[in-house]
Amino acid sequence: MFGLSWRKRWNPSGSLAIVTGASSGIGRELVALLIADGCRVIAVARRAERLAALTDQFGDRVVLLVGDVTDPRSVDEAIAIIERSGEGRLDLLVNNAGIGGIGRFDAADESRLRQIMEVNFFAPAMWCRRVIPLMRSNRDRHPVICNIGSVLGHCAVPLKSEYCASKFALHGLSDSLRTELAGDGIAVTLVSPSTTRSEFFDSLVGTDANQVSRSIGSWPPERVAQATLRAIKRRDNETILSLGGKSLVYTDRIVPALLNQILSRSVKS
């Protein structure tokens, strides 16, 4: 965790948040935690039936937005919901929706790269750009943009080249926006989990059904969501989750050549 102690804390009580990828996994758990803390949430996801269960559980504390995060019309609808509420402000954006793919880069077609980059990088960039004005006018509530990255946005591994590229890009965007928006009172928090035990691996893009994902350390989605909310409330710059994830990142920083040798051998094996 890297933070600045002089920063104001973010208070979920009475706040309004947008969470993408809210129908399952980290997103769904985060919606529940935010609502329990008094926040109203616009929950965005493609699967209407999964989103509907949120209304059954949370009633009017959650507003459902069925749509693709890569579609500008989804952002339009989210902003329209905010405007119809009569407040015209946003306190928190969580860019959580994401997809992945496994396999050699030279064995995949270009569509895998483009699809992963669209969801994992271009969509969060679009949502950030569109909601910044709603946050800038609301600086007294210390708004936060939270991007859910990955330890693979710090240290790249083989067979996940497109996913690593998308998370490195999101990492870079987050770092740059953080400095650009500091004067506007908007914090940008990057959360970098290791493997999360969720439905993420059930819908991999351009991936053989028999392909196995190798990873070090994993957390259940509720634990990732809890750590994410703590980082948001503190308005941390960045937090890397799990011992395995931290070990991978810091090994890469200290002895990158050794780690490259190890990772190369894992592909050959």
Q: Name which of 111, 118, 199, 237 is nearest 166 in CA terms.
A: 118
pLDDT score of 226 more than 60: yes
- Predicted confidence band of residue 218 (pLDDT cuts 50, 70, 90): confident
Q: What are 16's strand-pairing partners? A: 40
Is 149 among the domain residues? yes
Is 9 among the domain residues? no
Is 61 among the domain residues? yes
In this structure, the number of other CB atoms found within 10 A of the CB of residue 51 comes to 21
Is 179 among the domain residues? yes
- 51 and 45 in contact (C-beta within 8 Å)? yes
- Predicted confidence band of residue 166 (pLDDT cuts 50, 70, 90): very high
Give the residue with greater pLDDT, 243 vs 91.
Answer: 91
Is 263 among the domain residues? yes
Is 230 among the domain residues? yes
Confirm whether 250 is a catalytic residue.
no
Is 182 among the domain residues? yes
Range(s) of the domain holding residue 222: 16-268
Which residue in 10, 121, 127, 163 is the catalytic one? 163
DSSP the chain: -B--TTSPPP--TT-EEEEESTTSHHHHHHHHHHHHTT-EEEEEES-HHHHHHHHHHHGGGEEEEES-TTSHHHHHHHHHHHHHTT----SEEEE-------S-GGGS-HHHHHHHHIIIIIHHHHHHHHHHHHHHTTGGG--EEEEE--GGGTS--TT-HHHHHHHHHHHHHHHHHHHHHGGGT-EEEEEE--EESSGGGGG-TT--TT-----S-EE-HHHHHHHHHHHHHHT-SEEE-SHHHHHHHHHHHH-HHHHHHHHHHHHH-
pLDDT score of 18 more than 70: yes
Distance between CA atoms of 95 and 26, rounded to whole angstroms?
11
In this structure, the number of other CB atoms found within 10 A of the CB of residue 226 comes to 15
pLDDT tens-place string over residues 20-43: 999 999 999 999 999 999 999 999
This prediction has a pTM of 0.91
Q: How many domains does the chain have?
A: 1
- What CATH number did the domain enclosing 86 receive? 3.40.50.720
pLDDT tens-place string over residues 197-212: 655 555 687 666 565 5
Question: Per the structure block, which two tokens stand in for 257?
Answer: 């050549």
Distance between CA atoms of 183 and 239, rounded to whole angstroms?
22
- Predicted confidence band of residue 214 (pLDDT cuts 50, 70, 90): low
Q: What is the mean pLDDT of residues 84-105?
A: 92
What is the model's pLDDT at position 87? 73
Report the percent of the chain where pLDDT is more than 90.
76
Burial of residue 16 (number of CB atoms within 10 Å: 0-12, 13-18, 19+): buried
Is 225 among the domain residues? yes
